Amino acid sequence: MDQINNEKVGSYISELRKAKKLTQKDLADKLYVSDKTVSKWERGVSMPSIPLLMPLANLFDITVTELLKGEHQNIESLTKPCDIHAYDHVIYHTLQQHRKHWIIAYFLCIIIFFFEIIMFTMADISLSDLKSSITTSVIILLLGGYFCFLTPKVLPSYYDSNKIHYVMHGIFRIHCTGLSFHNGNWPYICTTIKSWALLSADVFILIHGICIKLYGSTVTSNIQGVLLTFLFCSLILAIYYIGKKYE
């Protein structure tokens, strides 16, 4: 399959939407996304997320291959083996690239984490003083690892047709009162949590170590609760902000 042209796909989506006599808001409501998201698609700024490709194609009575090519295809071309499953290869390639980037980011984060520990021990800060921040950072890294490697990339279809405020997967549970999870916002929420986890794991131990060096372990232990509260409140606020933005 040829390289996907965002602008061509966007123009095609706009053309199909108008043919169906739908406003951007109407289309957004049917796909459980914001009208700003639809506007970005049509302007070629961004592409529909992978979980939305099939629902979007079905809504316009076209194939996903046609959607990704940004044009109608004749029957003969649609029955060609190279085209009939072309979108599968695009989706698979996109997922693999996305996963590869997060694997690199995750292990880079772990390397930085150990480098920080070594750096602080060389600066005469004992491991016992760093114990609480190391524990916190490890827990955050485990959360990041879970979202990088184990969480589902696509939610079951019933999330798109009902207002469900929680997601359960294995040992993982997330519940946000007032926020509905669906395939329109789930990929963005996962990205937010992964980004927060990888950044926070390294930043927290860095701030903790600097505070110990500047103010001593006693003062630092007294303000550690404030740092933790701020850290996890930032995650909750980020989830709600991104979730509501794409809800």
CATH code: domain of residue 36: 1.10.260.40
Q: Does residue 35 sit in the same domain as residue 131?
A: no
Residue 60: domain span? 6-84
Residues 110 and 183 in one domain: yes
Classify each residue of 218-245 as buried b or exposed e, where b means 16 or more C-beta atoms within 10 Å of its C-beta: eebeeebeebeeebeeebeeebbebbee
Q: Are residues 134 and 73 in the same domain?
A: no
Q: Which residues of the chain have pLDDT under 70?
A: 1-3, 74-96
Q: Is residue 206 part of a domain?
A: yes
Which of 29, 53, 84 is the last residue before a domain boundary? 84
Residue 1 lies in a domain: no
Tens of pLDDT, residues 96-106: 677 788 999 99
Count of structural domains within the chain: 2
Same domain for 126 and 77, yes or no, is no
Q: In whole angstroms, what is the distance from residue 232 CA to residue 247 CA?
A: 22
Same domain, 79 and 130: no
In the listed set 37, 57, 84, which residue is the last one of a domain according to the structure? 84
Same domain, 132 and 63: no
Q: Which pLDDT does position 4 carry in this prediction?
A: 76
Helix (H) or strand (E) holding 175: strand 172-175
pTM, full prediction = 0.72
Residues 148-158 have pLDDT tens digits of 988 887 788 78
> Would you give the distance in Å from CA 221 to the centre of its chain?
33
Task: Using the 3D structure, point to which of 68, 84, 100 is the last residue of a domain.
Answer: 84
